[in-house]
Structure 1
Amino acid sequence: MRTFKPSLIKLALISSGMAFSLSSIAAQEAPVADEEELVEVIEITGIRASLQKAQSIKMTESSIVEVVTAEDIGKLPDSSIAESIARLPGIAAQRLDGRASSISIRGLGENFSSATFNGREQVSLGDNRGVEFDVYPSEIMSEVVVYKTPESTLITQGIGGTIDMRTVKPLAFGKESLSFTLRGEQNDIGALNPDGEDTGVRGSVSYINQFADDTVGIALAYAHMSSPNNEERFNTWGYPDGVVGGFKPFVRSAELTRDTLMGVLEIAPSDDLQINIDALYIDFKDDQVLRGPEIPAAWGDAGITVTDTVDGFARTGTIGSDGSPVGAVIRNDVTVREADLFALGANIEYALSDNLVLELDASYSKVDRQTWSLETYAGSGRGPNDRQPETIDFTLFDGNTNVDFDPDLNYGDASVIQLGNPQGWGWGNLIDPNSDNDQDGFINTPTVEDELTTLKAAAKYVFDEGIVSSIDFGMNFSDRTKERVDTGVFLTLPGAIDALGNVIPGYRLPIPDEYRLPNVSLDFIGFGEQVAFDSFRFWQDGNYLEFDSAITDPGRAQNTWVVNEEALTFFVKANLDMEIGNIPVRGNVGVQVVQLDQSSTGSSSRRLADRTLDIQPTTGGDKYTEVLPSINLIADVADDQLVRVGIARTMSRSRMDRMNASSGDLSYSEQTNIWSGSVANPQLRPIMADQFDITYENYFHDEGYVAVAYFYKNLSDWQQQAGKLVDTSDLTPPDGQPVAPFGVLNSWNNLGEGHVSGLELSLSLSGAMFSESLEGFGGIFSATFLDSELDYTVEVPANLDGDVTTLEFSDPVPGLSEEVFNATVYYEKSGFQARVSWRSRSDFLGEVAGLSLVRQPVNVQGSDLVDAQISYDFSESGIESLDGLTISLQAQNLTDEEFVTEHSASDDTSLDIRDVQRFGRNYLLGLSYKF
């Protein structure tokens, strides 16, 4: 029987201890006699070593995978692991504040894939399961494996795939290493706010060693990042009848500070026993300041005069008039997000015999996140009756991507612009419930706590002969609890309220000198200068009265919840090694049986006549079992040519904000004369997918391969928000309104089905394949073409007699771009390295933060991002005193690509611009030194 043989490069990597995950294969397959000679002939470092290591892992995995690796710890070239993953075939990233953050696998976004750290499920900083990958520094990672097809021993699955981030194994690394990196960063758009930064620093130190005759190994790493980010944002409220409803442009300055500690302890006192312990701690802080005007237009009381219309959209006009001033709200907003992530895991493997290996794995992880999102209001007057004369001419750019304002008021004059709300946005402070002019600001302060404990017991039995080479079996238990507490307070200037609790008409407060900052420039929208002050310190010093919004806002109770999920998974996998005809076939067949127990506590709220709320506790949950079979087969159809086939049933557990037990308030609509509201669904089931994959892979060179893959996912139990009719005949409507016999309660339900299919093409080339003169040149390229459709039906009221109409809907899958392209071209020789990377994706349905930081769907326009890097390793220079030193220069977002979203969740028109974010380019100059 022919057996699958690893390539020469794979043998070299295995023998050097680089590909620790392949060490067991090397023991079985590596020829001993010529191993030293082979390693000596093909020894390489740098980019080429990373790509070849990734290629060797991709060849030997039984699942269809994509891999990114580092030739040494701390050597991945990106600021976070998200940017590294985003270059892989079939993978795309959505930017958050200019950085790659959420990851889509084959068109399925962050909520449909799972993330693991050294094979263990991860908690997340967000409100759901989706992991924000920009939290994880690339400096601590040895490799990342993206599983596109599952197998039964892969405990955490998703209908999109699984992303496993892995640290180095010190014993497999096989040598002592001490390395340092230090990089300075420059954001070329500049510090757009007077208290912003446009320079930062990143650094890391790592140490790897082995002790006690190579039976004990340690790996330690620390990474720090203080990274600036600046943004010019053009933002609109919407376009009623083609006329802009309002503007909210601003400049944002942010600094992301991240400190990471990682430790790995590996103990192998004998050939039969191996113990691995790893720990990770990340301290994450994101400080953002946003300044700019909020200008009501068609949706404002000042009115708008349109002077020119193009393609159905108002192009030029004037907001406000002498008799009806605009009332621009001058914003000095701050968002601070802090989080601590801790993860600890231990793995023990013990060989009872040559045929039987036992495994025990335990882990604990937790994240605590606190957010402060502050809004402050200032302007030329308090309320509509007290504004100074104020008009603003505007001209929208082609495509509605920016605006040129011509205001007649100087918004940089602190004697004109003072604290106080010029729009009269009011909520009633419960002392003066009839007031509509008492809100001078607001602060959202939600918290999230996510805690996860897992325990796995497994065994592997190796057969001496037969088509079943070995069998893996075991169980995994996980207990996860996620809690979100949604809090926020209305802010009122103390001087705005008299002794009786009534609002004083026209009250404003000059910004105290101790909080004043130099004016901020808004020339990118033609607005001139705007007053600036340290609003966060102003709030911290107690300069506002605070009124709990939960007293009158039912959304606070609805967005506060606890979700607990216990999952018990039994699995078995038979590993196959056989021949069909003359073709060697290997792979596996297995099944998971997953028993889930989900429960939630929350609240339901009912609005009372005095505008307060009656809040009652709620609970709910469900228990169910899912069976997930999987088959992976690899046929060695010719030398180094493989055909892979995967068939599986997978699932993605529900987003936690959809399966909580909190319910909202029923409200009466005087337009439709019915009650409506929302209710939670703690019984919400996972989304299921039956998938088929087939891939052809040709590894025609140690530095080159071509792969063609087709996949089809049949989706069921898709989640859609839909209404159901309820009897409301006993509810009392507002005065003068008719009794409604029924109402509509919206909730998330499993009611949709559909598909995702796609074709993936990938190619890796080395210049040495074509000519010796091209030695050192190379490239890796991929293209992905996707198609999707989701179909579901919803019953809606046809009339007030209780008749219903069934509506049919068809939507795209969230996070899916129909086209995704990636290309990296590199040169590496004699210590010199250069790389240029391009990644492109077409439009997709994404998610952004909306009011009260609630996630909302928007259409995201496609983008093309270009990064580059050059470096020189002085180890190749012959200068002994510089041996181990590498200098590098990186450039990110070279084309200054904008991030553009539209108001609609569907792609009805590219002119329905929500916002346009411009971040500028980032440059990093760094050095690293390795002993």
Structure 2
Amino acid sequence: MKYRRSILSATIVTCLGMAVQVQAQEATTAPDATELDTIVVTGIRGSMEKSLDTKREANSRVEVVTAEDVGKLPAHNVADTLQRLPGVNISSSSSDEGGFDEADRVSLRGTSPSLTQTLINGHTVGSADWFVLSQGNNVGRSVSYTLLPSELVSSVEVHKSSQAKLPDGGTTGSVNIITRKPLQFADKITAEASIGVVNAEQADSTDPQLSGLFNYKNDAGTFGVMVQAFSQKRELRREAQEVPGGFFQIAATDPAGISNPDLVGVYAPGLLGSTLFEQTRERKGGLIELQFKPNDDLTLGLSGFRSDMDANNYNRNFMLWGGNFARAWAPDAGYVVKDGVLTQATYTGQAGQPYAVYDMIYREASAKSEYVTFDADWQITDSLSAKFQAGTTSGEGSTPRQFIAELVMANGGGASWTTHGAGSPVDWSVGGDLSPAASAWGGTWGNQEVTATDDEDWLTADFSHYFNSGVLSSLDFGLRYADHKREALSPEGASPGAGIWDALQNSATAPYPSGFASGIGGNFPRNLWYYTPAALQNAIINNSTWLHDNDGPTGRHNYGAEWKVEEKNLAAYVQANFVGDNWSGNVGLRYVDVDQDIHSYQSVSDPANADVSSLFGQWIRKSTSNSHSRVLPSANIKFDLNEDLVFRFAASQTQTLPDFSALGASSWGSDLTRRGGGGNPNLEPVLSTNFDANLEWYFMPRGLLSLGVYSMNLKDYVAFGTESQMLFSELTNQLEEYLVSVPINADGKVTGFEVAYEQPIGDNFGVQANYTYADGSTSHTWADGTNNLQGTSKNTYNVGAYFENDTFGARVSYTRRSSFLIGLSGANPYYQDDFGTLSAALSYKVNDHLSFTLDALNLNDPTIKYYQSAAIPTSFYSNGRQYYFNVRLKF
């Protein structure tokens, strides 16, 4: 057992003991962000006023977004809504899938999404991803917002300072999505429906968006049931240039380095891709809430939620194969080296040498999330209340079938490229015949199933004891127990037969779309072809042997892609709440005890030493057990300096366990790049010591000017180093040396400040703006010599304006964040460049029963850029604009 008690813990314990002894005038319970009276408001202005009221009355640092009506958040996507709050950042991918057209992850104050906890109604939610690498190789603790439609949301609270009674797990804070409850509705029967379409400009597709709500409560207000359902479809088309794995360095032992010593240590592209990604996302599900009040002192609740998303996708990547020839010989005379990069090179064709490789990957994919909870809210006596909850949640991401063809092309045709720094795509070309007839079969590694499961069962018991006199207004205390399991599985797939290429090469083809990647610039192959998804599926299915039920050395059970992390978490807390003249606050302690069991596999060369084996090699089982215990202190205090001015200060320690894959993932590698990743079961949890101060001036109704500063010292922050490991190669069918990125503990810190401004102008207009500065660093030095903290954008700002009268509403907003470190691509750190989005929304209310809305996202049609350094780009993505039109009916 590991037990730590910090100076901060001891100080807050002392303060708690002293405060309990203080007696003063009579006081009432300090209001909390989750304990305010319900305020019924509609419209943009009412929503903003309610959000500011909640923020002002809360005893902790909290930001609030309120949906003034069902499905009417200030943006179509929940994560996109939150990015408009100070200190909140969003990203659109969780692994190496690159940037998409809507936000998928939320993080706070310049940290990675895994350090921000997402809750629904105060409890965890099982989550998983549709992308295959996020299902197995790169699995964080963040929640995918693609599974959470905005129609579910009543409000969202973003907790920036900790309280002992909040569930642990968010080092930098937590996001609590609050749904509606049946007994909160004003009318006996409420029915609402939204019928609409989404137009994806780049995909040239218009698809249906349907949702509905029905709520009933009896006349006595003692029983209610609410049912929500949604069915939403949309098409995505992403056009890109990608540099998979980044640039590599020419070694002194490479033939090119031997013949041309000036090239030793110079960076060259391993792969340069012309990439077309298309996907259909169909999300269906719903929420059922029941409430029953057998008497005035007891309210029982039952809640069930499920969201299923089918996300089949087809990725085509035609790539210059620099890693195959740039090591083998030097470029023609006249090449240019600048800033350590081979910026301009031409290679005359060599007979028998392929200069391009073409991957076509069609995947069946899905993700789902669900939970069931039972709640009991019991007023035991006038001074003692209790809340009990039992629940179970699960998520699953699955890629049951993969249909993959790899072709080698441009045989003997030569190649060339010219780079222009990180801000522009690489100009590149390959020579020779690029038609299907000139293609050669490179192989397939498809039809292997990948599934990730995420399950948790929990019990909570929370109590509040109220006092009628003295500074101590109430005492909160309680327990929580959770049993969590995250598992990645890669069971039997199919054994591909020799006839795939014979069946495929004469199959149907289709061209890249007209004007492909015109929005990102650069000169690279665009007039390309690909085999249709049906052709690819038929050729592989009809020439493969499905082995799903077979184990052993003749099967394709990929043990090296399997791992499991099991965690049992017991927490107990006590929190004292205080109220005095023009001040309030709380101090508390939360004790957390976590037991972990981590299971994975390690490659071995000798079958005699193996526990399991298959066509993917031999492995031994590895198991590691960890135990972590900590006391986490927290303190929040609020001073009402006058009727308009509020000052807050908060101090706390918070903890987040490392990402699941960082703990459990078995080592894996890419045969094309000889690079990969893996886990480290001996990682320590991240412990953050946090300080926060904020001054808020509520200078008029719906008006706010605030300034805040914050500091987070991150002990045992998770960074990534690299090491050489011997892994099984599917190409050579033996162990080979790979450069593997491995998670390690390092210290980090983030300091910064936030400025927020909101003001109505007259009765109908208003403006909003905020700015966040974050300065993050880590003791770990990356391969590029930097000490950057993952996820830290130094500058983030949001500006917006709105107009609203009784019938018409309009709002426009622009959000921008500066560049930040994503992680490792192979062994190379890579970054997302500065990124900004412009969105707008229009609404027209015909009457109380009928209204129309139009939401427009990514109006500036941004290009999402990634880079390895100022001289080396990584990828450029264009997703186009999206328009959501909805007819809303209320009965």
Decide which moves more: 485-494 or 206-215: 485-494
**Equivalent residue of 1:639, what SS?**
coil
DSSP 3-state at the match of 1:480 = strand
Paired residue for 1:274, among 269, 280, 299? 299
Question: SS at 1:638's partner residue?
Answer: coil
**1:625 corresponds to:** 629
Q: SS at 1:657's partner residue?
A: helix
Does the CA-based 8 Å contact 2:365-2:398 persist in structure 1? yes
Q: CA deviation at 1:375?
A: 6.0
Deviation, 1:287, is 1.8
Paired residue for 1:740?
A: none
Shift of 1:814: 0.9
Cα displacement (A) at 1:491: 6.8
853, 858, 869: which one aligns with 2:841: 869
- Taking the TM superposition and a 5 Å limit, the aligned residue runs for 1:773-788 are 775-788=763-776
Evaluate the alpha carbon distance shift between residue 819 and residue 271 of structure 1 in structure 2; reply closer, same or farther with a 3 A threshold. Answer: same
Corresponding residue for residue 481 of structure 1: 485
The answer as to whether partners of 1:272 and 1:350 remain within 8 angstroms in 2 is yes
Matched, 1:124 2:119: no
1:645 aligned onto 2:657: no
Post-superposition offset of 1:477: 0.5
Which amino acid letter does the alignment assign opposite residue 348 of structure 1? Answer: A
What letter matches 1:107 in structure 2? G
**TM-aligned CA deviation for residue 793 of structure 1:** 8.6
Which of 606, 614, 620 is the aligned partner of 1:608? 606
Is 639-648 or 215-224 further displaced after alignment? Answer: 215-224
Question: Does the alignment pair 1:232 with 2:231?
Answer: no
| Amino acid in structure 2 at the alignment position of 1:541 | I
User: Which residue is equivalent to 1:341?
Assistant: 369
| Conservation of the 8 A alpha-carbon contact between 1:62 and 1:632 | yes
Deviations 1:219-239 (A, max 9, x none): 211112111111111012544
Deviation at residue 531 of structure 1 after TM alignment = 3.5
- Residues 1:818 and 2:794 aligned together: yes
2:865 to 874, 897, 900: 900
Amino acid at match of 1:103: V
Q: Show the counterpart of 2:281.
A: 256
Contact 1:522 1:528 in 2 (8 A): no
Equivalent residues in 2 for 1:6-17, closer than 5 Å: none
Cα drift, residue 870 of structure 1: 1.2
Q: How far off its partner does 1:632 sit?
A: 0.7
- Give 1:681 deviation, angstroms: 4.1
Alignment correspondent of 1:660: 664
Distance 1:808 1:332 in 2: 32
Matches within 5 A, 1:660-739: 660=664, 681-721=680-720
Q: Please say which of residues 472-481 and 547-556 is displaced more in the overlay.
A: 547-556
CA RMSD of aligned residues (A): 3.8
Q: How high is the TM-score relative to the length of structure 1? A: 0.79
**Structure 2 CA distance, aligned partners of 1:285 and 1:565?**
29
Aligned match for 1:184, one of 181, 191, 197? 197
User: What does residue range 840-855 of structure 1 map to in structure 2 within 5 Å?
Assistant: 840-847=816-823
Q: What corresponds to 2:220 in structure 1?
A: 213
SS of 1:49 mapped into structure 2: helix
Q: Structure 1 residue 101: deviation in Å?
A: 0.8
- On the 8 A contact 2:359/2:406 being kept in 1, the answer is yes
Counterpart position of 2:104: 101
The change in CA–CA distance for 1:263 and 1:250 in structure 2 (over 3 A counts) is same
Inter-CA distance 488–702: structure 2 relative to 1 (3 Å threshold): farther
Q: After TM superposition, give the deviation of residue 753 of structure 1 in Å.
A: 2.0
1:174 and 2:157 are equivalent in the alignment:
no
Deviation at 1:614, TM superposition (A): 3.6
1:9-48 aligned at under 5 Å gives the runs 21-23=35-37, 45-48=42-45
Q: Which amino acid aligns with 1:277?
A: L
Deviation at 1:169, TM superposition (A): 2.1
Name the aligned partner's letter for residue 296 of structure 2. Answer: D
For 2:543, the equivalent position in structure 1 comes to 543
Alignment-mate amino acid for residue 185 of structure 1: V
User: 1:529 is matched with which residue?
Assistant: 528
Using a 3 Å threshold, how does the CA distance of structure 1 residues 753 and 44 change in structure 2: closer, same or farther? closer
Aligned to 2:15: none
One-letter code aligned to 1:898: T
Deviations 1:547-575 (A, max 9, x none): 99997999954441111111111111111
SS at match of 1:120: coil
1:926 counterpart residue number: 886
Cα distance in 1 for residues equivalent to 2:828 and 2:346: 31
Q: Which of 335-344 and 707-716 deviates more?
A: 335-344
**SS of residue paired to 2:36:** helix
1:153–1:571 CA contact under 8 A, matched in 2: yes
Q: Does 1:765 align with 2:759?
A: yes
Structure 1 pair 495–353 and aligned structure 2 pair: CA distance change class (3 A): closer
Q: What residue number does 1:731 align with?
A: none
1:403 Cα offset (Å) = 4.7
Verify the 8 A CA contact 1:552 1:613 in the aligned structure 2: no
Task: Indicate the residue corresponding to 2:321 in structure 1.
Answer: 296
Q: 1:459 to 1:569 in 2, by over 3 A?
A: same
Equivalent of 1:137 in 132, 149, 153: 149
Structure 2 residue matching 1:528: 3-state secondary structure: coil
Could you give the per-residue CA deviations for residues 611-655 of structure 1, whole angstroms, max 9, x where no partner exists?
974422222212231101111111111003211111111111121
Residues 871, 808 of structure 1: alpha-carbon distance in 2 compared, 3 angstrom cutoff: closer
Change (3 A) 1:245 1:260: same
Shift of 1:52: 1.2
Q: Which runs of 5+ in 1 are unaligned?
A: 27-42, 192-197, 382-386, 422-438, 497-506, 729-742, 769-774, 795-806, 876-882
Gaps of 5+ in 2: 1-23, 94-99, 130-138, 250-265, 518-523, 609-614, 727-737
* Whole-Å separation in 2 of the counterparts to 1:856 and 1:286: 29
Distance 1:602 1:485, change over 3 A: same
Structure 1 residue 722, shift from structure 2 partner: 5.6
Residue identity opposite 1:785 in structure 2: Y
Distance 1:898 1:621 in 2: 45
Shift of 1:925: 2.1
Percent pairwise identity? 22
Shift of residue 764 of structure 1?
A: 0.8
Amino acid of the residue matched to residue 179 of structure 1?
E
Offset, 1:376: 3.4
Q: Give the AA of the match of 1:700.
A: F
Cα contact 1:659–1:680 (8 A) shared by 2: yes
C-alpha distance 390-546 of structure 1, shift in aligned 2 (>3 A) = farther
Bigger relative CO (Cα 8 Å, ≥ 6 apart)? 2
Equivalent in 332, 344, 347 of residue 360 of structure 2: 332
Alignment match of 1:588 (pick from 546, 569, 586): 586
Amino acid of the structure 2 residue aligned with 1:48: R
Which residue number in structure 1 is paired with residue 874 of structure 2?
914
Task: Kindly state the Cα deviation for residue 359 of structure 1 after the two structures are TM-superposed.
Answer: 1.8
Letter of the 2:882 partner, please give it.
Answer: N
* More displaced 10-residue stretch of structure 1: 527-536 or 784-793: 527-536
Per-residue deviation at 1:858?
A: 2.5
Aligned to 2:809: 833
- Corresponding position of 1:244: 269
Per-residue CA distance 1:84-138 (angstroms, 9 max, x = gap): 1121111011123222011110112211111111000122215231111222100
Aligned to 1:884: 849
Where 1:323 maps in the other structure, the secondary structure is coil
- Cα distance 1:661–1:871, how it changes in 2: closer, same or farther (>3 A)? closer
How many residues are aligned here?
802
Q: Is the 8 A contact 1:292 1:522 kept in 2?
A: no
8 Å Cα contact 1:419/1:508 also seen in 2: no
Q: Is the 8 A contact 2:494 2:556 kept in 1?
A: no
TM-score by length of 2: 0.82
Paired with 2:605 and 2:478, the residues of 1 have a C-alpha distance of 51
SS, match of residue 538 in structure 1: helix
Say yes or no: does 1:366 pair with 2:366: no
Aligned counterpart for 1:113 among listed residues 113, 116, 140: 116
Task: Please list the CA deviations of residues 408-440 of structure 1 after superposition, one character each: whole Å capped at 9, or x if unmatched.
Answer: 5564x44x255612xxxxxxxxxxxxxxxxx34
CA distance in 1, matches of 2:680, 2:126: 22
Letter matched to residue 127 of structure 2: S
Residue identity opposite 2:282 in structure 1: T
Instruction: Decide whether the 8 Å contact of 1:846 with 1:860 is kept in 2.
Output: yes
